Structure 1
Amino acid sequence: MALPVAQPAEVLRAWQKDDLYEKQLADSIARLLPSYHAAKAIPVSSILYKSFTTLKDLQTLGEEYSGIVQVDESYHKLPSFSSRLLSIILSTFGENFTRRLLRNAEKSVEKNGSLQPEAQNVFLVLLKAMTSMIPQIISIHRALCYINGGPIQIGKSLTGIDYVHVRPAAAAYYAHLRLLGVVTLLHSFISCGKCIYQAKKYMDQMRETPNEVDSNKSCVACLEEIIQPCVLPCGHIFCMQCSYGALEMCALCRSPFMKNYVVPLMNYYPGEL
Structure 2
Amino acid sequence: MPLAPANQSQLIRSIQKDEYYQTFLRNNANEAFQTLAGSKRWLDWRREIELLSDIAYYGLTTFSGYQTLGEEYVNIVQVDPTKRRVPSRARRGLFVLCHAYFPYLVDKVLVCLENELECGQERHSGAGQRRAASGPWWSLELWLRRWMQRAVGLLSEPQRRACVPAVFVLHQGLTLLHRLHATLFYISGSFYHLSKRAAGISYLRVMGLSSDDGTIRSSYRLLGALSLLQLFVTVCLQLNRFRQKQRARQEWKLYRNLRYRNLRYRGLRYRNLRYRDLRYRGLRYRGLRYRNLRYRNLRYRDLRYRGLRYRNLRCRDLRYRNLRCRDLRYRSRVPSSSGLYVRAEF
Q: Identify the TM-score tier after normalising by the shorter chain.
A: 0.5 to 0.7
Greater helix fraction, Structure 1 or Structure 2:
2
Taking structure 2 as the reference length, what is the TM-score of the superposition? 0.53
Question: What letter is aligned with 2:175?
Answer: P
- 1:129 corresponds in structure 2 to 169
- 1:73 corresponds in structure 2 to 81
Unaligned runs of 5+ in 2: 118-147, 255-346
Query: Highest CA radius of gyration, 1 or 2?
Result: 2
What is the correspondence of 1:31-70 to structure 2 with a 5 Å cutoff?
31-34=31-34, 35=39, 36=43, 37-70=45-78
Shift of 1:150: 1.2
Shift of 1:141: 0.9
- 1:192 corresponds in structure 2 to 235
2: CA distance between counterparts of 1:204 and 1:95? 33
1: CA distance between counterparts of 2:170 and 2:107? 9
- 2:24 corresponds in structure 1 to 24
1:97 aligns with 2:137: no
Give the share of equivalent positions with the same residue, in percent.
25
What is the correspondence of 1:132-143 to structure 2 with a 5 Å cutoff?
132-143=172-183
Change (3 A) 1:143 1:167: same
1: CA distance between counterparts of 2:102 and 2:172? 15
Say if 1:129 and 1:195, in contact at 8 Å, map to a contact too. Answer: no
Say if 1:147 and 1:177, in contact at 8 Å, map to a contact too. Answer: yes
Shift of 1:113: 4.2
Question: What letter is aligned with 1:60?
Answer: T
- 1:168 corresponds in structure 2 to 208
- 2:15 corresponds in structure 1 to 15
Q: Secondary structure at the match of 1:82?
A: helix
- 2:309 corresponds in structure 1 to none
Question: What letter is aligned with 2:239?
Answer: I
Change (3 A) 1:39 1:112: closer
1:84 aligns with 2:124: no
Change (3 A) 1:123 1:113: closer
2: CA distance between counterparts of 1:165 and 1:146? 18
Change (3 A) 1:72 1:64: same
- 1:202 corresponds in structure 2 to 245
Q: Secondary structure at the match of 2:13?
A: helix
- 1:255 corresponds in structure 2 to none
2: CA distance between counterparts of 1:186 and 1:93? 31
Unaligned runs of 5+ in 1: 211-273
Shift of 1:105: 5.5
- 2:280 corresponds in structure 1 to none
1:149 aligns with 2:189: yes
- Give the aligned CA root-mean-square deviation in angstroms: 2.8
Change (3 A) 1:200 1:60: same
Q: Secondary structure at the match of 2:207?
A: coil
- 2:297 corresponds in structure 1 to none
Shift of 1:57: 1.0
Shift of 1:84: 0.8
Change (3 A) 1:125 1:15: same
- 1:159 corresponds in structure 2 to 199
1:179 aligns with 2:219: no
Q: Secondary structure at the match of 1:163?
A: strand
Q: Secondary structure at the match of 1:152?
A: coil
Say if 1:122 and 1:203, in contact at 8 Å, map to a contact too. Answer: no
Taking structure 1 as the reference length, what is the TM-score of the superposition? 0.66
Change (3 A) 1:80 1:154: same
1: CA distance between counterparts of 2:240 and 2:181? 22
- 2:281 corresponds in structure 1 to none
1: CA distance between counterparts of 2:162 and 2:9? 42
Q: Secondary structure at the match of 1:127?
A: helix
Shift of 1:122: 4.1
Say if 1:70 and 1:78, in contact at 8 Å, map to a contact too. Answer: yes
Say if 1:125 and 1:202, in contact at 8 Å, map to a contact too. Answer: no
Shift of 1:71: 0.8
| 1:179-208 C-alpha deviation (Å, 9 max, x unpaired) | 332333333333333333333333334445
Q: Secondary structure at the match of 1:183?
A: helix
Say if 2:76 and 2:206, in contact at 8 Å, map to a contact too. Answer: yes
Q: Secondary structure at the match of 1:63?
A: helix
2: CA distance between counterparts of 1:158 and 1:120? 32
